[in-house]
Chain A
């Protein structure tokens, strides 16, 4: 182990040891989480299948909503990037809604779509839409004009140019948007599940990691379970980020 590795391990290990030591000074009945209990709880939740199913449920919602948001966002963004008139007309509307966080429209979404899959997809789609539309529009409108002019010279129709020249050339920017969108979407779905769990009351409200956390908080008062969920939330968002970066490197190798 190199000195560099050693230095990077020091603080996390010290913190976990301190946390465990602090937890051991507490009375045995205390609800406070400790590393040992968290590991035990993690094993129990995995072997009972509750944790994998909640994770898959949350992820499924995010993927569905993301696909919807990406279809809308990339189409709108491409049109906005390629045609200045579309940009001028749609930009004010998009900028009006952009500061309104997905979680803030949750109450209206619950009114319209209930608390089921539809609501989750709407929230995630809304959250994913904005980074995608903005990055796609930016990418498409900053494509080298000479590429477009070359295509025009060869007599390509504008609609074909959009599909075959502008969109591929804007892919790096679209990928950045997609990565941001997926990160925001993952946060939004956890928040939405938490809020629905908190307001619908009782287990079985919505399912997913967020609801699992809330049930652990308010019904079983199991802080170790909450910490397990937090760690899973972190691992999933790390994997999403790394996955998108790896895909970027592979698919956009020509960029470098």
Chain B
């Protein structure tokens, strides 16, 4: 199915598209379309003042630029081309150890699914992700509320946070290996650490950006301080907290994979390293695909939560 390109009605808004903006007369694609129309017997009559043209037989349908494929089909086409290039490259290499073919990776995925190993490792990692998110939220959100509401607390705690923040979670791995040993605690610690900072900063920012008039209104209606925090400040800063949660998931998922790769005996990060040592590249790539999928669906989930809980604050940037 083919669809027409939508041209924004306001010429000063919408994303820049050099091709669409170059004057019509110098655009070969549109010239070709015009020629085709002429050949088909449709006559282009006039150019209106807005620059959109109407055709004689179909006055209601404005000429809206060349035909383009719908977005989803373009995406499928791009990914198919990528897969074909990958397949050709793996044929050219001729070494499934160096570059397994996409078919081989799908085989490996099916194998791992059937044996249940994929599910086991992925659920371990996802459980760690959940636990550490909860830990980070329990620590960061109350602290952020305190720091945002009481300037004195903010002033005292802030320097320590600013000292710790540049030290990435990954840099804690050796010390954490020493403290916790190889196992489940280490990835949870690293991920909680990585998720803590974005959550804290976004909570503080959210609390500080609450409309002062809302708080005054609640106060003039005689609400107690605790009630104001619970019913006014918290809901009003929720969008910011959720954005923080989204950033926390992104940085935490990276950290958890790194932590599992170095210091755990289970999970997807461990699995890619394990199969690399066994030189089973197809399974390594299969797990890389799984890591991408989990990261992607975590992001989708949090976007859905955002739409659901705070529909008034969904911006265009958040797809």
Point out the residues of chain A lying under 8 angstroms from B174, CB to CB: 194, 213-214, 216-217, 226, 229
Closest partner residue, chain A, to B285 (CB atom): A108
Most buried by B among A100, A161, A226: A100
Tell me which residues from 102 to 128 in chain A have a Cβ below 8 Å from any Cβ of chain B.
Answer: 102-108, 110-112
Bound-complex Cα distance A97 to B296 (A): 10
Q: Mark A213-234, 1 if CB is under 8 A from B, else 0.
A: 1101100000100110111011
User: Would B159 and A99 count as touching, CB distance under 8 A?
Assistant: no
A99 interface neighbour in B155, B170, B299, Cβ under 8 Å: B299
Closest partner residue, chain B, to A162 (CB atom): B18
User: Would A104 and B171 count as touching, CB distance under 8 A?
Assistant: no
Tell me which residues from 1 to 46 in chain B have a Cβ below 8 Å from any Cβ of chain A.
Answer: 11-23
Chain A proximity of B46: nearest CB distance (Å): 22
Closest partner residue, chain A, to B169 (CB atom): A187
Chain A interface extent, by class: 35 or more
Bound-complex Cα distance A244 to B98 (A): 38
Chain A proximity of B183: nearest CB distance (Å): 15
Tell me which residues from 226 to 254 in chain A have a Cβ below 8 Å from any Cβ of chain B.
Answer: 226-227, 229-231, 233-235, 237-238, 241
Chain B proximity of A170: nearest CB distance (Å): 10
A8: interface (CB < 8 Å): yes
B159 interface neighbour in A8, A100, A105, A214, Cβ under 8 Å: A8
User: Would B155 and A194 count as touching, CB distance under 8 A?
Assistant: no
Bound-complex Cα distance A36 to B177 (A): 22
A97 interface neighbour in B13, B253, B292, Cβ under 8 Å: B292
Point out the residues of chain B lying under 8 angstroms from A89, CB to CB: 74, 77-78
Point out the residues of chain B lying under 8 angstroms from A149, CB to CB: 11, 21
Closest partner residue, chain B, to A212 (CB atom): B174
Bound-complex Cα distance A202 to B263 (A): 16
Bound-complex Cα distance A240 to B97 (A): 38
Bound-complex Cα distance A26 to B177 (A): 20
Point out the residues of chain A lying under 8 angstroms from B77, CB to CB: 89
User: Would B78 and A191 count as touching, CB distance under 8 A?
Assistant: no
Point out the residues of chain B lying under 8 angstroms from A97, CB to CB: 292
Chain A proximity of B130: nearest CB distance (Å): 17
User: Would B276 and A110 count as touching, CB distance under 8 A?
Assistant: yes
Would A141 and B160 be within 8 Å (CB), given that A100-B295, A111-B281 are in contact? no
Tell me which residues from 165 to 207 in chain B have a Cβ below 8 Å from any Cβ of chain A.
Answer: 166-168, 170-175, 177-178
A10: interface (CB < 8 Å): yes
Chain B interface extent, by class: 35 or more
Would A148 and B21 be within 8 Å (CB), given that A88-B71, A103-B257, A108-B284 are in contact? yes
The interface-forming segment of A39-47, A49-57, A59-67, A76-84 is A76-84
Would A158 and B22 be within 8 Å (CB), given that A96-B292, A234-B166 are in contact? yes
Would A237 and B168 be within 8 Å (CB), given that A12-B159, A111-B276 are in contact? yes
Bound-complex Cα distance A53 to B168 (A): 21
Point out the residues of chain A lying under 8 angstroms from B78, CB to CB: 89-90, 92-93
User: Would B273 and A107 count as touching, CB distance under 8 A?
Assistant: yes
Chain B proximity of A213: nearest CB distance (Å): 5
Interface residues of B (CB under 8 A from A): 11-23, 68, 71, 74-79, 82, 97-98, 152, 155-160, 163-164, 166-168, 170-175, 177-178, 253-254, 257-258, 261-263, 269, 272-273, 275-277, 281, 284-285, 288, 291-296, 299
30 contacts between A and B (CB under 8 A): A11-B157, A12-B160, A15-B160, A82-B16, A92-B76, A96-B79, A99-B296, A100-B291, A100-B292, A100-B295, A101-B253, A103-B269, A104-B261, A104-B272, A105-B288, A106-B261, A107-B276, A108-B276, A108-B281, A141-B17, A145-B13, A161-B18, A187-B170, A194-B174, A195-B262, A226-B174, A229-B174, A233-B166, A235-B166, A237-B166
Query: Shortest 4 CB-CB distances between A and B: which pairs?
Result: A99-B295, A92-B75, A107-B276, A141-B15
